[in-house]
Amino acid sequence: MLDLDTATTTNPLHGFRVERSQIRNVGVGLQRPECILAEADGTLWTADARGGVMRINPDGQQHLIAQHEAGNDGSAEDLILGKTLPNGIAFDRNGDILIANFGTDAIELMTRDGQSRTLYTEIDGQPLGKMNFILTDSRGRIWFTVTTRLQPWTRSINEKAPDGYVGLIDETGIRVVADGFVGTNEIRFDANEEWLYVVESNARRISRLRVHADGSLSDREVFGPADLGGTPDGFAFDAYGNLWITLILAERLVALTPEGELLTLLDDGKPEQIEIYDRHFFAGTVTPQLMDSCSGTLAPWMASLTFGGPDLKTVYLGSLKGTTLASFRSPVAGLPLPHWHARRTRAGEPA
């Protein structure tokens, strides 16, 4: 449930802006920390381009936990040659790490000591497509997104193909529960898991669908502006009901209030480069060079955010080109994910 009564309480984000002087860096030498998980004890986990995740302890010590299987020594060279690229990560009910692998286009499961296995590479007899994000709900079900089925996937940026989808894994197996999205990216539930929110990156909007007990989805609608003014990538709810959103390449952190008002919380963008990029985005002529020119300095290619700290008021920003996590304090706590209050005995976890 929400911690605040939004009907009678002033929105804590009104008048709030993140000052550069307030930002602290967490972690060093990270590689593509696109997605971040926070635990109640202060431990952070980030996806890592070397294959697997980086664990950052509360005291700042880091441990790269690389994926490995029998017959594979898990070396960086092997992992790169295997084109593994962990993107979205989530905890399952046992505390193991689910991985949406953007490189292998697979859904994988890795224990906290790196033992890894592939769960799915196909759905309905066809390749999954470009795997992006993964999420669990309070019932332990696994939800995931596929950005596109185009090859190469980068075509979807210029073609705006509506071929992304949301999938579900439960006791009946794996299935598509909603499709027709334009660049499906992160997904999140509201506090009561009544609505599933979906980032449509290449449509520059957020959609949401009503969640039914059997996992089916209905009543799809756009939440907030039809165009957020940039490309949304990652998002997270706070306890008031605001939806915080990273706009990658625009390099902005914004929030949608429960009423649909759009607030800018942090702006690290380059206006002239963004204007050029936007012209090419709408014309369908984006190039990698144009994307590179938009990179910010705080969380280059700002891609995601996570609430952490003992009070869930520390915000961590993930990025595609950063080597550290930008962090700052929020005036409102984040909405806890299902793993936040879970108690588990974890064998083999590194100290």
Contacts of 253-259 with CB under 8 Å at 24 or more apart are 253/18, 253/302, 253/305, 253/317, 254/228, 254/229, 254/230, 255/13, 256/206, 256/223, 256/224, 257/11, 257/13, 258/6
Q: How many CA atoms lie within 13 A of 75 on its CB side?
A: 5
Architecture of the 20-329 domain: 6 Propeller (2.120)
Q: Strand runs (DSSP E) across 22-121, as ranges? A: 24-26, 36-38, 44-47, 52-56, 62-66, 86-91, 97-101, 106-110, 116-120
- For tokens 């997104």, name the residue: 145
| pLDDT score, position 68 | 76
Question: What ranges do the domains of the chain cover?
Answer: 20-329
| pLDDT score, position 84 | 87
| pLDDT score, position 44 | 98
Phi/psi class of residue 301: alpha, beta or left (left: φ > 0; alpha: ψ in -120 to 50)? left
Cα–Cα dist 140/124, whole Å? 22
Question: In what helix (H) or strand (E) does residue 274 lie, and over which residues does it extend?
Answer: helix 271-283
**Tens-binned pLDDT, residue by residue, of the chain (351 aa):** 344 445 557 999 999 999 999 999 999 999 999 999 999 999 999 999 999 999 999 999 999 999 875 344 444 444 434 478 999 999 999 999 999 999 999 999 999 999 999 999 999 999 999 999 999 999 999 999 999 999 999 999 999 999 999 999 999 999 999 999 999 999 999 999 999 999 999 999 999 999 999 999 999 999 999 999 999 999 999 999 999 999 999 999 999 999 999 999 999 999 999 999 999 999 999 999 999 999 999 999 999 999 999 999 999 999 999 999 999 999 999 999 999 976 443 434 443
